[in-house]
Every structure is written in structure tokens, then in C-alpha cells.
Amino acid sequence: MHLGRVFDCQLITDMSEPTFFADGLRFDCLRCGACCTGEEGYVFLTEEDVERLMKGLGLTRDELIERHLRIVDGKYSLQETEDGRCVFWAGDCKAYEHRPYQCMSYPFWPSIMRSKESWNQLATTCVGVGRGRVHTEEEIRGWLRGFPRKLIGITPLSGEK
């Protein structure tokens, strides 16, 4: 899974600066799985993500951790198979309705939205870029604003040592 390969928490600090996406961007995930398979990657989880997955999959916290999570640099991330497939990918995402913020917000990540070049680069690997409806600048800024708030506290999970 290479979804998290380019993931980082770097913020677009000055949200008043003009952006290359002032007119919005077309994107529609075709659920092809290209970003959920392949090279190694990471999907880090917030406490909200963990609770949503527990509830959606009907698992206890311990069951979720044992079956679907691994620890990377002291943070919980989704497991992946030896061939790099996300633990939830089996021809389609088996946890789509309960997927983590990192998946929900893709590709509107700080690391991608920092420049038009990054966005254009993404178009070489993601068939959803340039398709579907226009996501407005405000929508995209909303995803970006969610990152610092959502990702604080990814480690440790409350109740975990």
C-alpha cells in the first residue's frame, strides 16, 4: 500500500495565502486500489479512526489491534500484506464506510496540496485526478485544516500504554 508513502503532517501554515486550487480541483476516486496496494506505505490512525473502525467492524480494541493494526514509529498504522496490500483491500476496500481520516481525505493532504507540481505528479499514479466533480477550495482547505487537529494524539491511543 503506498497511500501513506508521501504522507506527512507538514501544515500549510498560512491559510490566507493564494493557492493553486482557488478554482477547485476535479477528483473522483474510482476505487481502483492503486494507492492501497504496491509499495510499502502507512495509514496512521487517530483515536476517532480507531473508534469508528471498532464500531463499524464490530471489534473490541484488542481485536482491532491484533487483526488489523501494527506499530510504526510508535504509532498505530493499518497492517499490510507481504505484497504490500492494505489489510482491508480485497479487490475493494472492505472498510470503506469506516476508513481512517487519512484515507477519507486523500488526496487532499498537505504533502500533495503544497504545490501544483505535486498534484500533477499524483495524476501519473491516480486515475481519479481530473475526474468527477469539482472539489471547491473551501472543501480542500477543510480537509487540510483537519490534519493537525485529527492527527494530534495518534500516539499513544487513549487507554494504551
Contact footprint for ligand SF4 (CB under 6 A): 29-35, 106, 126-128
Please state the closest distance from residue 149 (CB atom) to ligand SF4, in A: 23
Please state the closest distance from residue 3 (CB atom) to ligand SF4, in A: 7
Distance CA 143, CA 155 (A): 21
Please state the closest distance from residue 124 (CB atom) to ligand SF4, in A: 11
Name the grid cell of 69: 493494526
61-68 vs 47-57: helix crossing angle, rounded to 10? 90
With respect to ligand SF4, which residue has the nearer C-beta, 65 or 128?
A: 128
Please state the closest distance from residue 30 (CB atom) to ligand SF4, in A: 4
With respect to ligand SF4, which residue has the nearer C-beta, 66 or 96?
A: 96
Q: DSSP letter at 136? A: P
Distance CA 79, CA 148 (A): 23
Q: Are 129 and 34 in contact (CB under 8 A)?
A: no
With respect to ligand SF4, which residue has the nearer C-beta, 41 or 65?
A: 41
With respect to ligand SF4, which residue has the nearer C-beta, 144 or 157?
A: 144
Q: Which of 98, 92, 114, 105 is nearest to 14 (CA)?
A: 114
Distance CA 138, CA 84 (A): 34
